[in-house]
Chains A and B, each alone.
Chain A
Amino acid sequence: MQALSRLSWWLIRAQFTTRRAATLLSMLAVALGVALGYAIHLINDAALADFARAMKSVQGDPDAVIAARDSAGSVPLATLNAIARDPAVLVIAAVIETRVRIDNARTPVTLIGIDVFSAAAVMPDLLPRHNEQAAAPNLFNGGVYASPALLAKLAQRAPDSDSGARPGRTLTLVRGEQQWPATLAGDLPAARPDDLLLVADIAWVQERFGPVDAVSEGRVRLAPDSDLATWRKKWAQQLPAGLLIRVADDDSARVSNLSRAYRVNLNVLALVALLTGAFLVFATQLTSVAQRSTQFALLGVLGLSPRMRLLQVLLEGLAIGVPGALLGLGLGYALAVAFTRLLGGDLGGGYFAGSAPPIIPLPAPALVFLALGCLASLAGASYPAYLNRMQPLAQALKTGFAQQSHADTARATLPRLRLPLFLALAALALAQLPPLFALPLAGYAAIALVLVAGIASAPLLTQLLFGWLSAQALPAPQRIALQNVAQAPLMAQVAASGLIVSFALTASMVIMVSSFRVAVDQWLDHVLPAPLYLRSKATPLPQDLLAALAQPDAPFTRVERMANASLIIDPQRPQVALLVREIDRRDPAARLPVTGPLLAPPATTPAVWISEPMAEIYRLAPGQTLRLPLLGREIEVFIGGVWRDYGRQFGAVVISRQDYQQLGGDFQPTDLALWPRPGEEAHASAWLAPWADQYGLEVADSAEIRRLSLSIFDKSFAVTYALEAAAMLIGLFGLAVTLAASVWLRARELATLGALGFDRRMLSRAVMLEGALIATVGVLIGLACGVGIGAILTHVVNPQAFHWRMALAIPWAALVTGAAITLAAAVLASRHAARQATRLPVAQVLASAQ
């Protein structure tokens, strides 16, 4: 075995030294795939851990949390007291959380009211540290305590004075038009570095911000011998409908669900990169096996067993995969560190905004990704290894790589159509399946099948196209090129398959992004009917502004008010947005981009219109009734219709202001849509400016919001253009490598033509035409597959992963231009092979062929 290992090592080393560029590129492709996958894993793991730590820091480590299901709701103190009397409960910490602005700052901060004694047991990170040197009241006398990040921000805001973050300083806390002075009395030493928190005594907060006789949450620590599940079950039955009990498992499931589809999509992209690596290993190993077929045949004749011939090619694949995967791990770690610093823990996805978590590599995942890289390279090398195993030794020793003969492949068209047709039908069937584990797994499988169907149809299309062409009256070099391709179907298929896959993926991404952009553009038209928008971040708009807008001298013809809140429908899923809008129950389509049937609600039942994500996640449809956790109770509402929403991935419910108020809701607008009087647009903006300054409000015109939205859209898909370019380069590289190998394999034949009088230009043209013809087949099939995959991405993957529905919009001009550029690039790529053909030492090649 040791002797055979030595022989194997000699052959691997020879492979590396003689095919340096191709081997290195394959290695880099494997490295890239592993790096992307590993980086996504590291970033996501770090982000989830960081998010969990952040939650723990603010929420503490309770066994359970009693909370309202409606963000506007609260937990009655009477309920908390009842729970506190339960012997199974060790301690219950009441908390009031609200958002306030400090002075005129635009960004609100979280103000948390705590009972310091119970907080010590459940939320130790929120315990304040009083600054003894400052002449400030303590916690019980109205002192507030800021987290280090907030202190830094306060100091930054007043850099010229020492008053910004000085203990004893008076802060003005603003909520709506209400303002309360508070004294900074110290800090929160255990708060996380990026939390913007203020902590005060719960009674002090309740007196100023409410709610009366209620709190935001009760955080429960159970007695050591209590069973959480039993306790939860008991209290879940007794709690009012508007309240719920959350446990730690719910929180982690919710955090995981938050970014799950985004993560899986990124992982699929990484998998595509890894598959690209596998394809390059495949192309490299296949051409290598073809070029060394005589050598492998000789080794077989000398006694290398068939199993060892198979193993040798697999080992050579592994010799590419192991260093590639190791390099990928290092690169992945570096990418993870760089990306979290640049984009945050959610890679710009917007799920865990603001965090730059530390990246901690662990051995087990690193080993898994190392194994994945090795598996990809082994998969790429397996078919060439099989071919090497099956080569007839005597024939290969005499004539080199033995391909399936043209006569064998020229079967009837119909039977050869069976496999691609079967695969296409299977893909179609998979595309009809619902999501599995809430993910579009069947959609991804359908995409893979479309690609395989495309590759499987390449020989047939080559035969049909080239058969037709070779029947035409063509000059000799062109005729030879056609015959060469027809007689070397395997090499042609390999060369074409790289282009099929790369062009299909590129075209599909272009189609999906274009469809999405057109849809977002149309959606923005519908959701931005007013010329001007004003919003407050999380706190209600001041009443004096609303009153001023209602005056006749306000320069607006129309003002529509909106309030935003959130609801918990399922504790394990992210919250659903509740949008209270001034909407006409009889004509919701005037304000909402309705996508399905609109049903008139019964006069006595409140109506809601749900977003597409909400309909998909909770499997709801117009005409159904829904028990909505609203205003502290469960209210039966009628679903009047479904509307398109690209802004809130986890669902949104629109209810009219009238219904909301009739149900007893306190309508506190947070957003305004404003229609300035004609010709007074500039005056309207100037009229709003002082209000915006005073209350830290945001004013934007619809054109600006549209521009910003589309710019964010374009930026978020910018990475796909880089991936498309990489895919095309790899496809063209595959074509160039395979054509060069094909020239090498046909050296004798080309040399004979040279000896018979074909000049270099004729040989060069023949090889370039061959490249162009193979590229034509690749691009045509790639385009067809691209349209199919684009449709799957648009109609299956996007709705199932992100709940975004849209119409298919195929940008034909861009696709045809891309196809033309690819063909031109393919001709350029085949120049390398053509040059090889013209440089063949005719006499030497012919002499060695004797």
Chain B
Amino acid sequence: MLHVADLAKQHSRASRPLFSALGFTIAAGEIVALVGESGVGKSTLLNCIAGLETADRGSIAIGPQALDIVALDETARAALRARSIGFVFQAFHILPTLTVAQNIAVPLLLCGLPAGEHAARTRALLERVGLASFGPRWPASLSGGELQRVAIARALVHHPALVLADEPTGNLDPRTAGEVLALLLERVREQHTSALVVTHSQHVAQCCDRILTLTPDGLLE
């Protein structure tokens, strides 16, 4: 689950806050879409939730233990991300020098899972995203849709409490986008994980359980 309360952020050179007093909750197993115009602060909000940018005020509680990522130091934020958050990006961000299986295993290694366990879990996830035979392949030989499937597997392999997806279908053609979205939602629901999906696509937003709209005046539901 994710609980955001009284969150405020202002860029150092900006004349007014990007957002202030933001608050919302995403329950366990709930998938929420975050929409809004360009420049309104969606990515900054996502970065704050991931602990990649620091909020000026407020709290962001993640996972069953409700750890406040705003209050943590850099190392603890990294540890919380490794344990409790999965990421899916528009540009896939698959490490080109590791094989598909190794890419998926990265979060398990960051969580410190023993070597014996991660091979089995990686294999299982590859099967769940329809890439059972892709483990030893190099990312350069995969299509965009396949790369995003790998990214979904990597986001879920360590059973995170929260998945943050930033325009997960933005780089894909409509048919592949539909397949990838369906897969993402299905797997997230299957794991009973919370998810926040940032998107410009009305279709993607409609597929989620709830839609939050970020505006210069605040968050609308």
Closest chain-B Cβ to A402's Cβ sits at a distance in Å of 13
Q: Is A294's CB under 8 angstroms from B110's CB?
A: no
Q: A295-B95, A850-B171 are in contact. Are A305 and B112 (CB under 8 A)?
A: no
Q: Is A14's CB under 8 angstroms from B115's CB?
A: no
Q: Does A10 contact B (CB under 8 A)?
A: yes
0 or 1 for each of A272-309: is its CB under 8 Å from B? (1 = yes)? 00000000000000000000001100111111111100
Q: Which residues of B contact A300 (CB under 8 A)?
A: 78
Q: Is B50's CB under 8 angstroms from A10's CB?
A: no
Q: Contact check: which of B78, B89, B93, B98 meets A306 at CB < 8 Å? A: B78
Q: Is B109's CB under 8 angstroms from A14's CB?
A: no
Considering the chains assembled together, what is the distance between the CA atoms of A300 and B53 in angstroms?
13
Q: Does B47 contact A (CB under 8 A)?
A: yes
Considering the chains assembled together, what is the distance between the CA atoms of A299 and B83 in angstroms?
13
Q: A7-B106, A302-B87 are in contact. Are A397 and B93 (CB under 8 A)?
A: yes
Q: Does A6 contact B (CB under 8 A)?
A: yes
Q: Does A238 contact B (CB under 8 A)?
A: no
Q: Which residues of A contact B81 (CB under 8 A)?
A: 301-303
Q: A1-B112, A306-B78, A307-B75 are in contact. Are A394 and B93 (CB under 8 A)?
A: no
Q: Which residues of B contact A18 (CB under 8 A)?
A: 97
Considering the chains assembled together, what is the distance between the CA atoms of A313 and B132 in angstroms?
33
Q: Is A305's CB under 8 angstroms from B79's CB?
A: yes
Q: Contact check: which of B82, B93, B96, B109 meets A6 at CB < 8 Å? A: B109
Q: Contact check: which of B47, B82, B96 meets A302 at CB < 8 Å? A: B82
Q: Which residues of A contact B87 (CB under 8 A)?
A: 301-302
Known A3-B118, A4-B110, A305-B75; further 8 A-B contacts with Cβ < 8 A:
A2-B112, A3-B108, A3-B111, A15-B97, A300-B78, A302-B110, A303-B85, A394-B47
Q: Which residues of B contact A848 (CB under 8 A)?
A: 91
Q: Is B97's CB under 8 angstroms from A6's CB?
A: no
Q: Does B21 contact A (CB under 8 A)?
A: no
Considering the chains assembled together, what is the distance between the CA atoms of A397 and B107 in angstroms?
17
- Residue in chain A with minimal CB distance to B85: A303
Considering the chains assembled together, what is the distance between the CA atoms of A266 and B19 in angstroms?
65
Q: Is B75's CB under 8 angstroms from A303's CB?
A: no
Q: Which residues of B contact A11 (CB under 8 A)?
A: 97
- Residue in chain B with minimal CB distance to A294: B93
Q: Contact check: which of A6, A301, A307 meets B115 at CB < 8 Å? A: A6
Closest chain-A Cβ to B43's Cβ sits at a distance in Å of 8
0 or 1 for each of A382-411: is its CB under 8 Å from B? (1 = yes)? 000000000001100100000000000000
Closest chain-A Cβ to B98's Cβ sits at a distance in Å of 6
Q: Is A10's CB under 8 angstroms from B171's CB?
A: no
A interface, over-half SS: helix
Q: Does B114 contact A (CB under 8 A)?
A: yes
Most buried by B among A3, A307, A393, A397: A3
Within 8 A of A (CB), among B118-167: 118, 154
Considering the chains assembled together, what is the distance between the CA atoms of A300 and B110 in angstroms?
10
A contact residues, total (Cβ < 8 Å): 29
Q: Is A303's CB under 8 angstroms from B91's CB?
A: no
Considering the chains assembled together, what is the distance between the CA atoms of A706 and B171 in angstroms?
79
Q: A7-B106, A10-B102, A302-B106 are in contact. Are A393 and B114 (CB under 8 A)?
A: no
Q: Which residues of A contact B53 (CB under 8 A)?
A: 394
Residues of B within 8 A of A (CB): 43, 47, 50, 52-53, 74-75, 78-83, 85, 87, 89, 91, 93, 95-98, 102, 106-115, 118, 154, 171
Q: Does A17 contact B (CB under 8 A)?
A: yes
Q: Which residues of A contact B85 (CB under 8 A)?
A: 303
Within 8 A of B (CB), among A1-30: 1-4, 6-7, 10-11, 14-15, 17-18
13 A–B pairs (Cβ distance < 8 Å), ordered by A: A2-B112, A4-B112, A14-B98, A294-B93, A295-B95, A299-B110, A301-B81, A301-B87, A303-B81, A303-B111, A304-B78, A394-B43, A848-B91
Q: A18-B97, A303-B78, A306-B74 are in contact. Are A3 and B112 (CB under 8 A)?
A: yes
Q: Contact check: which of A10, A302, A393 meets B98 at CB < 8 Å? A: A10
Most buried by B among A2, A11, A15, A298: A298
Closest chain-B Cβ to A504's Cβ sits at a distance in Å of 37
Closest chain-B Cβ to A542's Cβ sits at a distance in Å of 81
Q: Which residues of B contact A304 (CB under 8 A)?
A: 78, 82, 110
Considering the chains assembled together, what is the distance between the CA atoms of A278 and B83 in angstroms?
37
Q: Which residues of B contact A7 (CB under 8 A)?
A: 106, 109-110
Closest chain-B Cβ to A223's Cβ sits at a distance in Å of 70
Q: Which 5 A-B pairs have the closest CB atoms?
A: A303-B82, A14-B97, A305-B78, A3-B109, A7-B109
Q: Is B106's CB under 8 angstroms from A2's CB?
A: no
Considering the chains assembled together, what is the distance between the CA atoms of A11 and B95 in angstroms?
10
Considering the chains assembled together, what is the distance between the CA atoms of A10 and B109 in angstroms?
11
Closest chain-B Cβ to A425's Cβ sits at a distance in Å of 37
Considering the chains assembled together, what is the distance between the CA atoms of A604 and B161 in angstroms?
103
